[in-house]
Amino acid sequence: MALEFNDANFKTEVLESDKLSVIDFWAEWCGPCRAIGPVIEELSKEYEGKVKIGKVNVDHNPKISMDYGITSIPAILFIKNGEVVDKLVGAQPKGNFVKKIEALK
């Protein structure tokens, strides 16, 4: 199950983690976000214990969204050692996520 990141836990769960974090910025009303939701869930199971994979609902967590300049969703940030190391915007096939994760983890 993908983790739920929010304004309260983002610093400890993502920025202070020693693992790669993959964060899907999404909203319930966003069709492409809903389309990649199952892919994010699959990845969270496949990489459990190796990579932190989770979601940030932009409507409920505006601070994180503003901090990272999220203007289009879905936006997927790859964060390692507290820094954004890569980014994907828009609905993507699973293979694109796997390539990035394998290159960055």
Which residue in the list 30, 53, 58, 70 is annotated as catalytic? 30
Residue 80 DSSP SS3: strand
30 is catalytic: yes
Helices and strands of the chain, counted as H and E runs: 4, 5
Catalytic residue among 14, 20, 22, 33: 33
Closest to 50 (Cα-Cα) out of 96, 102, 97: 102
Q: Clarify whether 33 is annotated catalytic.
A: yes
Question: Active-site residue numbers?
Answer: 30, 33
